[in-house]
């Protein structure tokens, strides 16, 4: 329906990825990043998702396990829209696309053209499920479209929601983006940690490190990370298993290092087996005065019920603030049906900032 949209003066082409930020072609990458920043600021009312071009460039170069591409919509010589497109190389059906259009260029069909282009790319790569998202400020008013997972909703009348419905996407899950401000006291986290450690007992031991991962833990940590695709709540979305091993962990660590990022990990070790059974990851970019981001948080299914999620969350926050005291906050995403981790986050002091609809379309 939208594949043949013809907008005079508009063309969509692949973003040429420069070798470095100083190389020829970097201007287009910077301009595309500015469009994404303007788009997410407009949609969420926050600066949480501002694009850092050097970090994005490092990610675009890191394609050993994930095929990452960017395509841009140009109105004449001006970049007005960006399509991000990525899929796991060891998967078979899923691909994730993000469409960003500058607020000043919306409403004339550019969004439709980019979604049509995403479908063409997905088919060309043999992918059959196209995943995407839309983000709105928490508490966005109006009639709500409920999540099929049973908890959470997204505003039905929001422009981005209507756009996705028009293109045949179905809502698979709703996630909450929450923020913890370090201006708040960590006393609650310390108190919750002490209580959780007592509850967990001597079979569970917390460990924390700043990357690189110690050799003695890298294999077990890689296995725990691989469980993210199968053990976290996914609503009506179907994520494929991902292969993680020590080599992939080291590859990711190099990516973070090359991008100027710092990453730290809090884990819980199961003493009887020596296995890592819970983890929490926090990352910050080159600007150590910006917000930090919680990457993965997981307790393996077979070890739930011992407050291990509380342990890794609290250890992670406490040690992170010691490591990067200039970062004012940490943001994290959780499925609305993941009530346990939301309860932990709320008790520590996280507050809702953004609602994210997670959508899929079967091609």
Question: Could you report the per-residue pLDDT of 224-237, keeping only the tens digit for each?
Answer: 999 998 899 999 99
Which residues are 88's β-sheet partners?
A: 66
Is 26 in the same domain as 66?
yes
119: in domain? yes
3-state secondary structure the chain: CCCCCCCCCEEEEECCCCCCCCCCCHHHHHHHHHHHHHHHHHHHCCCCCCCCHHHHHHHHHCCCCEEEEEEEEEECCEEEEEEEEEEECCCCCEEEEEEEECHHHCCCCHHHHHHHHHHHHHHHCCCCEEEEEEEEECCCCCCEEECCCCCCEEECCCHHHHHHHHCCCEEEEEEEEEEEECCCCCHHHHHHHHHHHHHHCCCEEEEEEECCCCHHHHHHHHHHHHCHHHHCCCCCCCCCCCCCCHHHHHHHHHHHHHCCCEEEEEEEEECCCCEEEEEEEEEECCCCCCCEEEEEEEECHHHCCCCHHHHHHHHHHHHHHHHCCCCCEEEEEEECCCHHHHHHHHHHCCEEEEEEEEEEEEC
Is 31 in the same domain as 57?
yes
Is 152 in the same domain as 247?
no
Question: Could you report the per-residue pLDDT of 313-348, keeping only the tens digit for each?
Answer: 999 999 999 999 999 999 999 999 999 999 999 999
Question: Could you report the per-residue pLDDT of 294-316, keeping only the tens digit for each?
Answer: 999 999 999 999 999 999 999 99
Structure confidence at residue 294 (pLDDT)? 98
Is 25 in the same domain as 58?
yes
355: in domain? no
Structure confidence at residue 5 (pLDDT)? 53
Number of domains in the chain: 2
Does residue 357 surpass a pLDDT of 60? yes
Question: Could you report the per-residue pLDDT of 167-195, keeping only the tens digit for each?
Answer: 999 999 999 999 999 987 899 999 999 99
Structure confidence at residue 156 (pLDDT)? 98
Structure confidence at residue 315 (pLDDT)? 99
Structure confidence at residue 184 (pLDDT)? 79
Residue 213 belongs to domain spanning:
179-350
Does residue 2 surpass a pLDDT of 60? no
Does residue 6 surpass a pLDDT of 70? no
4: in domain? no
Does residue 3 surpass a pLDDT of 80? no
Question: Could you report the per-residue pLDDT of 247-277, keeping only the tens digit for each?
Answer: 999 999 999 998 999 999 999 999 999 999 9
Question: Could you report the per-residue pLDDT of 50-79, keeping only the tens digit for each?
Answer: 999 999 999 999 999 999 999 999 999 999
Is 68 in the same domain as 209?
no
Q: 276, 288 in Cβ contact below 8 A? A: no
Question: Could you report the per-residue pLDDT of 7-31, keeping only the tens digit for each?
Answer: 788 999 999 999 999 998 899 999 9
Q: For position 143, which CATH number holds?
A: 3.40.630.30
Of the chain, the percentage scoring pLDDT greater than 70 comes to 98
Quick one: average pLDDT of 128-146? 98
Is 17 in the same domain as 159?
yes
265: in domain? yes
């Amino acid at each position: 329906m939208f594949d043949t949209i013809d907008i005079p003066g508009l063309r969509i082409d692949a973003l040429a990825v420069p070798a470095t930020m100083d190389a020829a072609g970097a201007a287009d990458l910077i301009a595309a990043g500015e469009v994404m920043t303007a788009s997410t600021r407009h949609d969420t009312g926050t600066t949480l998702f501002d694009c850092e071009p050097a970090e994005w460039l490092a990610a675009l170069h890191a394609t050993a396990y994930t095929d990452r591409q960017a395509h841009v919509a140009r109105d004449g010589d001006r970049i007005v829209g960006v399509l991000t497109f990525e899929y796991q190389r060891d998967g078979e059906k899923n691909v994730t696309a993000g469409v960003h259009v500058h607020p000043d260029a919306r409403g004339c069909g550019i969004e439709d053209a980019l979604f049509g282009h995403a479908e063409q790319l997905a088919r060309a790569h043999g992918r059959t499920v196209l995943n995407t998202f839309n983000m709105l400020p928490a508490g966005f008013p109006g009639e709500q479209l409920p999540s099929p997972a049973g908890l959470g909703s997204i505003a039905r009348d929001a422009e981005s929601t209507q756009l996705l419905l028009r293109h045949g996407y179905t809502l698979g899950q709703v996630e909450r983006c929450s923020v913890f401000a370090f201006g708040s006291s960590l006393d609650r986290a310390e108190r919750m940690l002490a209580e959780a450690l007592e509850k967990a007992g001597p079979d569970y031991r917390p460990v924390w490190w700043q990357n690189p991962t110690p050799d003695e833990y890298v294999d077990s940590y890689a296995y725990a990370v691989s469980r993210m695709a199968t053990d976290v709540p996914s609503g009506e979305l179907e994520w494929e298993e991902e292969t993680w091993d020590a080599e992939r962990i080291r590859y990711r660590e190099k990516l973070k290092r090359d991008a100027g990022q710092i990453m730290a990990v809090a884990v819980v070790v199961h003493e009887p087996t020596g296995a890592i059974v819970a983890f929490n990851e926090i990352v910050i970019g080159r600007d150590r005065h910006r917000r930090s981001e919680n990457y993965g948080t997981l307790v393996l299914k077979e070890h739930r019920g011992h407050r291990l999620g509380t342990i890794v969350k609290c250890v992670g926050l406490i040690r992170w603030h010691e490591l990067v005291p200039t970062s004012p906050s940490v943001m994290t995403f959780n499925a609305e049906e993941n009530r346990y981790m939301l309860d932990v986050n709320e008790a520590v002091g996280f507050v809702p900032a953004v609602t994210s609809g997670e959508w899929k379309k079967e091609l």
